[in-house]
Amino acid sequence: MQRHSSARRIALVVSAMATLALASAPKSEPATNRAWLPDQGDGTYKNPVLAGDYSDPDVVRVGEDYFLVASSFTNVPGLPILRSTDLVNWTLIGHALPTLPPAAHHAVPRRGGGVWAPAIRHRNGRFMIYYPDPDFGIFLVTAKNPAGPWSQPVLVDDRRGAIDPAPFWDDDGQGWLISAWARSRAGIANIITAKRLNPAGDTTIGEAITLVDGERQPPVMTSRGPSPWMTTEGPKLYKRDGWYYLFAPSGSVKGGWQGVFRSRSLQGPYEGRDVLDQGATAINGPHQGAWVTTPSGEDWFLHFQDTDSYGRRVWLEPMTWKDGWPIIGQDLDNNGSGEPVASFRKPASRIASRPTAPQDSDTFDGSLSLAWQWNANPQEDWADLKSRPGVLRLKSISSSENLWEAGALLTQKLPSERFSITTKLTFAPKAVGERAGLLMFGSDYAWIGLQNGPAGTSLVRVDRLGADRFQPEQIEVALAKAPATVWLRMTAEPVVQANPPPDFSPYWPSMLRSTHAQVKLSYSLDGETFTAIGAPFVSRPGRWVGSQVGLFSQAPTGTPSNTSTRIGWTDFDGFWVTR
């Protein structure tokens, strides 16, 4: 345990999906294959330490190992679990949720729903993850091995709108479940509450008590001047030297700060401070994370930064203490509040590690890499890795023409700011209207691929701007008569766009810009010479998530999914991510 910590069965488990998505051994990308690595190889690191969209990170140390868990929303499998020995180099080792409960509810995409901010702890030889589904309550899963298998989710608290759970056990052994609130479900927000836990930690008991009400707190001094506490959420409770420390970000996700409240009593009253904000840096909204202590006694803090289409990337900050208050990052002006570090020395570690990052490329050698997630609970026949060894076969699944409503999208996080993805596609449709391709997905999306029409197969690019608002798609035909096998490629680089001012003040100038991926789509008939199609596409994030890249094979709307003799499939031979 970290030294600052005092110390109905739900759902259908789709066995074939679990085999495909979870059975593969954890893999990492060596430095030669990565567009960006945090470990500089000289004893220092660059932020972010996780360039992918690992929102709302929480971390626990067990011995020499650190385990990180993050939100996954509507993506399946859910609750990604990563391991590190130095807080810089991370490997994805599994997921705690093969499917999302309730199974029927999550059989379709729930954009902005599903698994919100989790918390991971290790207690009495068990790993415990508390996570919220804001439409149903707070759940618990447990395991002896963080790589799995994990238990079926247990509903710990059925209060709709309770989010961001964080368990805490006091010195007397009494457990507490701290939570924030989503106004969209509960009608309240900007408030942190606590309920007692039973001895097993799997049920809350008694009435909730309020620890911090942002509406009643005095304004906090930030580097932009005094500001009211607003959108206070993401709580984590710790104890140190007789003080209770409630970590909770505030001030909005993209433009806020990391707050800490302290009290001599768990039940308060609490006094709050800003201990980390953007300051003079360009690093907007350091938000929601976890304090962790190394075996040698160093304190560190991991948090996310909202970077629009690139998602919520994870940063690592040094953490020090002054007058009983934590300072996160570097306090260059000695005002008691830190700023994010762009680079720093690595945490002390007794275990050597090589520069690495979670895998993204996939050769489909018997199992899907852990990087892949569906957009809803899958059916067992959506993916096939046996018909052609080394090839992923996706069955054409019927869904709305608007992919925003499609669950059978196989996607992963954007791997870095600049990247190129290539895949070889072989199309075997049986019905007019089937289509398949390589996708940049979000509230705006674009894909390149093959489409089966009355006159045969054509190679197309499809854009849909405002997919979340059900705007029409735009189709550009590159080849009216296309072969069954083509190579597809997308290349991406960051582009900065202007934003209107937010509806609150004061705010940091970084709120006036957003970062997205400018994407070029191209195809080849021989795997060597690629031809661009259309103008560059600018990505947009999804609901609480960044943009995603992926593959899909779609049947016409209204086609029964069990009529396999009437619909076809698409084979994908490799998914190669390069610089």
Tokens of 157: 């608290």
Diameter over CA atoms, the chain: 76
Rounded CA separation 120/150 (Å): 13
Determine whether 86 is an active site residue: no
Choose among 12, 11, 24, 10: nearest CA to 383: 24
Rounded CA separation 204/138 (Å): 10
What 3-state DSSP class applies to 186? Answer: helix
Rounded CA separation 496/516 (Å): 6
Q: Of the listed 86, 157, 233, 360, which one is catalytic?
A: 233
Choose among 396, 465, 366, 423: nearest CA to 549: 423
What type of residue is 508? W
Angstrom CA distances, 408 to 67, 78, 360, 399, 461, stand at: 29, 15, 19, 8, 19
Rounded CA separation 403/446 (Å): 10
C-alpha R_g of the chain:
24
Burial class (CB in 10 A: 0-12, 13-18, 19+), 316: buried
Rounded CA separation 228/442 (Å): 32
Rounded CA separation 368/223 (Å): 46
In 221-314, which residue ranges form alpha helices assigned H by DSSP?
Answer: none
What DSSP character marks residue 16? H
Rounded CA separation 12/92 (Å): 24
Q: Where are the beta strands (DSSP E) in 13-89?
A: 28-29, 44-46, 58-62, 65-69, 78-84
Determine whether 233 is an active site residue: yes
What is the CA angle 8-10-14, rounded to 5?
A: 145
Q: Of the listed 29, 53, 56, 306, which one is catalytic?
A: 56
**Residues belonging to the active site:** 56, 233
